[in-house]
A = this chain, B = another copy of it.
């Protein structure tokens, strides 16, 4: 392994897990050659004519799927921190004595710390996928046998479609399914709304196993996952802890600072002229994001403005916009609360999407770039508007990328962030891990002021008479540094030991995460 400086000036390895990599070449500079990955042609001769693909248990399904050492098993994270199926799958893998699995989740959560012994004993070789919490800590401490690979939701779809990651066995945890393998997330006791993150897995994996705790007679409608792509169906008692799958309810922040940020965001969108009939926006599920939706809603009502679509992760606040006629559609990637699930079940205009539709950069366009404004978070931003979303200033990898990188392509990308957290400044000289190049980040909104990227002269011009606290990013930084007693310390890391890499949406390597020295 050799370290190379990429177009963003970051040091990245030329090989990851023995596979040659392409270093980041700049935004919009790398175009893939070649063809999408072919899949074996199947025949109905090999599948039950009555459509019944149910097998006894997960172990049987894995055996039927031909599980072997060194294979890649994929999972999805629609059940978030309530998922138990992934743990059951790896219990079975361990029991079968299989080794060196590449685990390819769309994201992992604290509930998956159950798998740490399997990472230690070689059942799992490494994780490619976002690592929230304990698995991220484990990885950053250099304990994982292989190197982690972090991809955005769109980047993950592309990696599968392009053949960069071959999935041997896909596990599709499905709150409702039929014996043929049609499945959805919208009904059943473990309902999570939709299961679109598993779409690529269902299309491209060699073998696809649907696991459900709500088996219904054919046809399972809607068929968010199509049985025509499924090999085996397994019924289990429970997919997980429904209280952790979706929140009973999501609440806006109560912090006065965060509320101020949210109000600034809504005012900015209005005063910049973005909030007009037929506009669109994306909001996440953080407390600040939820609050901004409420402030924006008041402005929309006051001015009689209706959105064409809003983009979820949906919550009750987006559902209210839809049901009060303030938007024509919710285009949803995952539902965060019970109201989101209910709405997706009841409202035909609450539409389930997939990373193919929303985010795949290796398609004939995707809709992330059509959205008028995306309001996102970050763990750090630097004075050049570069941002970090996966690690903290102490070097620890603790968060997933999600669709964050993909959303940067919106027409106006806003990072709504506190200027400091736990007395550590959030605006710094250089981000610990680069996840989003500054040229795609248009506005930073903190409780202490709003910084517009100098590239966006149009936004500066639009806001020139605004009473909003538009400031130079370095001014805000200076003030916060003073308040916090200085810039944050650089993390102590071993620059020779890459524990994970962050891919850009086009599959190139954007940055490295290094082993933290305690």
Contacts and interface: CB of A to CB of B under 8 A. Distances in A.
A53 B365 contact: yes
Interface stretch (A61-69, A224-232, A477-485): A224-232
A32 B36 contact: no
Contacts of A48: 365
Interface stretch (A248-256, A355-363, A449-457): A355-363
A223 B309 CA distance: 14
Given A48-B365, A49-B369, A217 B308 contact: yes
B47 A365 contact: yes
Tell me the interface secondary structure of chain A in the complex: loop
A161 interface: yes
Nearest to A506: B43
Interface in A168-216: 180-181, 208
A217 to B, nearest CB: 6
B47 A180 contact: no
A38 interface: yes
Contacts of A367: 51, 180, 218-219, 227
Interface string A363-400: 11111011000000000000000000000000000000
B362 A41 contact: yes
B409 A228 contact: no
Contact of A365 (B28, B31, B36, B180): B180
Contact of A308 (B35, B208, B218, B370): B218
A221 B38 contact: no
Contacts of A360: 228
A197 to B, nearest CB: 16
Nearest to A345: B348
A38 B35 contact: yes
A129 B126 CA distance: 49
A331 interface: yes
B50 A363 contact: no
A34 interface: yes
A39 interface: yes
A181 B370 CA distance: 13
A35 B44 contact: no
B356 A226 contact: yes
Given A28-B45, A41-B162, A217-B308, A365 B34 contact: no
A42 B308 contact: no
Contacts of A45: 28, 31
A8 interface: no
B364 A51 contact: no
A33 B44 contact: no
A298 to B, nearest CB: 24
A50 B219 contact: no
Contacts of A49: 365, 369, 409
A366 B228 contact: yes
A37 interface: yes
A329 interface: yes
Interface string A421-453: 000000000000000000000000000000000
A208 B33 CA distance: 20
Nearest to A179: B370
A349 interface: yes
A304 interface: no
B180 A370 contact: yes
14 contacts: A31-B46, A32-B43, A34-B40, A34-B41, A35-B38, A35-B40, A44-B365, A47-B365, A49-B409, A50-B370, A50-B411, A218-B308, A219-B331, A219-B367
The 4 closest A-B pairs by CB, nearest first: A35-B38, A47-B365, A51-B370, A49-B369
Interface of A: 28, 31-51, 53, 161-162, 180-181, 208, 217-219, 221-223, 226-231, 278, 308-309, 329, 331, 348-349, 351, 356-357, 360-367, 369-370, 409, 411, 506
